[in-house]
Structure 1
Amino acid sequence: MKTLLAAILSLGLFASAAAAQTESYEIMAPASPGGGWDQTARAMQATLQDAKIASDVQVVNVTGAGGTIGLAQFVSRDKGDASKLMVGGYVMVGAILTNKSPVTLDQVTPIARLTGEYEAIVVPAASPLKTVDDLVAALKKDTGAVSFAGGSAGGTDHITAGLIAKAAGLDPKAVNYIAFSGGGEALAAILGGQVTAGISGYGEFEGQIKAGALRLLAVTSDAKIEGIDAPTLKESGLDVVIQNWRMVAAAPGITDEEKATITADITKMVESAEWKAVLDRNGWENTFLSGDAFKTQLDADVTATKAILQDIGLVAK
């Protein structure tokens, strides 16, 4: 009888420990502080805790190579650990291809697409470039003399620069694109006049635009965005529409039950009032998609991104 009681108590303790494990997460932002992935990870951290979905959430930054260094570490170090999550997105898809990364998103456990954000093209406030027409004229005069600052090579920002050149009838391979591992570094280069223009998600530039330190030339949406005083690239004569999306993945090797628990927690997060406030504050669109539907969409995005990168000369055909 004592043995049976001990076994029951032991099972109860084990179940409690397992439940406790699901209440804490460590989220990897595979880039330096200040960028979109870091912002997303820290927004998740605050929301999961404020909405009382998880009791303890930590964020760690692992920088380099468009997130592929963090991805490799996540896959090798965190296998089977249901408390570990990683933020990623469209940028990582491109970086895996351009860096010929041996580790791909096929090796993680996709949980959900979270947000979408259109790109913004900005210049320093003192720049002589006032409009997209001015930018295109400068590119046509000397493409290589116009430098763009943005995130990692092969990411959304880089693709946008290439698509702008292509839409203007120029060779995308001639674009002078300077990649930074984090949004903070890119912003410093733009504000310091070290580059001609900057490309990133609108949220990363919003404070400096409103403060008058940066001039917003255009956004990459298909229609004008409410609350943003700038034309789209399409309205400016360039047929370019592109949206950066961000996702969350769990470690490889977790069980179906653990995946279901994580998915339920992320779903609660996305449905919370706290998360909706985050979206409004950052100008992020809710593009939530989970389960098999997200995996199918992710596979399609990988295929489409490879075609785009080949088209603008960033990946060999």
Structure 2
Amino acid sequence: MRLKSFLLPLAIMAAAFISSAQAQVNVMLPANPGGGWDATGRQAFQALNAAGLYKGGVNFTNKGGAGGTIGLAEFQRQQAGKPDALAVFGAITVGSIVLNNSPIDLAKFRPVARLTAEYLVIAVAQNSPHKTLQDLVAALKSNPGGTAVGGGSAGGVDHIALALLAQSAGVPVAELNYIPQTSGAETVTGIVNGTLTAGFSGISEFAQFAEQGRVRILAITSAERVKGLEVPTFKEAGFDVEIANWRGILGAPGMPEDNYAAWVDRFTKLSETPAWKGVLEKQGWDAFFLPGQQFGTFIAAESERIGKILKEAGLAQ
């Protein structure tokens, strides 16, 4: 009887240990701390916890470089087949895979959920002679090489947006002077000190600097004007450009079906919770949710679209 009484707590402790060991998800954030992908992953899991949808442990790994392809390649090598391994990625990675001729095959990953979208804005210095997007395009036409434009990774959405603008305006894309920056803050610094004529970034990164009077936003890449931001869309300004920096979650290649279904279900439920809606509002992100295989279909279409743009622009083979 005493032996049974002694063994029962041990059994309970062992079961608790096994349960806690299993309740651990590894999340690859293929960027340096502090950026959009980092925030997406960390905020999503905080919201999952707050909503009671996932209470287990989370191990985040930051691995930046090459538009997310370095971190995603490491994730593919180290986490393939594992049950609870996820990665944040987005539109930037799709372009970087093409531009860097990366061996990453997105079709091999498990598409869990598309979560957010952030439209891009183009800005100039407050005292810039370019008062409108048309003014800036005129400068690009006159001297594309001498009109430096900054933004995120080469081949990323900022770069693609500039290429689309050039194509729409009849500016030779190969002659553009695009200078990748490490962050939106660095792009703003370049705009203010004059090393950049203009720069692209997400609304959330530029809005604060516009409010401070450091930069002036000229236009936004959304289909319609954004409430609270009194600037025209690129299309209103006469240029056929519409693109968003979307972000989502991938499961590891070969993730078991039961685990995959569970993660799709968690993120589907999360998309409707007050906790997640609060994150979107706080971060200035647009809801852009797609679950599971619908997200997979979108990734395939985006890969084809972005790859075509980069090749037509002469940025990739």
- Greater Cα offset, 93-102 or 180-189: 180-189
Stretches of structure 1 lacking an aligned partner (at least 5 in a row) = none
Q: Which residue matches 2:218?
A: 217
Q: Which residue matches 2:95?
A: 94
Counterpart Cα distance in 2 of 1:68 and 1:75: 10
How far is 1:17 from its partner?
A: 5.8
Counterpart Cα distance in 2 of 1:161 and 1:91: 14
1:241/1:315 Cα in 2 relative to 1: closer, same or farther (>3 Å)? Answer: same
Q: Which residue matches 1:235?
A: 236
Counterpart Cα distance in 1 of 2:33 and 2:193: 19
Stretches of structure 2 lacking an aligned partner (at least 5 in a row) = none
Counterpart Cα distance in 1 of 2:18 and 2:185: 38
Q: Which residue matches 1:26?
A: 26
Counterpart Cα distance in 1 of 2:12 and 2:110: 28
Q: Is the 8 A contact 2:184 2:206 kept in 1?
A: no
How far is 1:262 from its partner?
A: 1.7
Alignment-mate amino acid for residue 20 of structure 1: S
Q: Report the RMSD for the aligned CA atoms in angstroms.
A: 2.4
Counterpart Cα distance in 1 of 2:183 and 2:88: 14
1:106/1:217 Cα in 2 relative to 1: closer, same or farther (>3 Å)? Answer: same
Q: Which residue matches 2:290?
A: 289
Q: Is the 8 A contact 2:83 2:259 kept in 1?
A: yes
1:12/1:42 Cα in 2 relative to 1: closer, same or farther (>3 Å)? Answer: closer
Secondary structure of the corresponding residue to residue 117 of structure 2: strand
Q: Is the 8 A contact 1:117 1:201 kept in 2?
A: yes
Counterpart Cα distance in 1 of 2:294 and 2:18: 28
Residue 309 (1) aligns with residue 307 (2): no
Q: Which residue matches 1:268?
A: 269
Q: Is the 8 A contact 2:98 2:316 kept in 1?
A: yes
What TM-score results when the alignment is normalised by the length of structure 1? 0.89
Q: Which residue matches 2:108?
A: 107
Alignment of 1:154-233 (within 5 A): 154-233=155-234
Alignment-mate amino acid for residue 73 of structure 1: E
Counterpart Cα distance in 2 of 1:129 and 1:21: 58
1:267/1:187 Cα in 2 relative to 1: closer, same or farther (>3 Å)? Answer: farther
Q: Is the 8 A contact 1:33 1:182 kept in 2?
A: no
What TM-score results when the alignment is normalised by the length of structure 2? 0.89
- Greater Cα offset, 22-31 or 258-267: 22-31
Q: Which residue matches 2:49?
A: 49
1:83/1:229 Cα in 2 relative to 1: closer, same or farther (>3 Å)? Answer: same
Secondary structure of the corresponding residue to residue 194 of structure 2: coil
Q: Is the 8 A contact 2:28 2:72 kept in 1?
A: no
% identity of equivalent residues? 41
Counterpart Cα distance in 2 of 1:17 and 1:84: 20
How far is 1:39 from its partner?
A: 2.4
Counterpart Cα distance in 1 of 2:51 and 2:287: 18
How far is 1:137 from its partner?
A: 1.6
Q: Is the 8 A contact 1:66 1:181 kept in 2?
A: no
How far is 1:170 from its partner?
A: 0.9
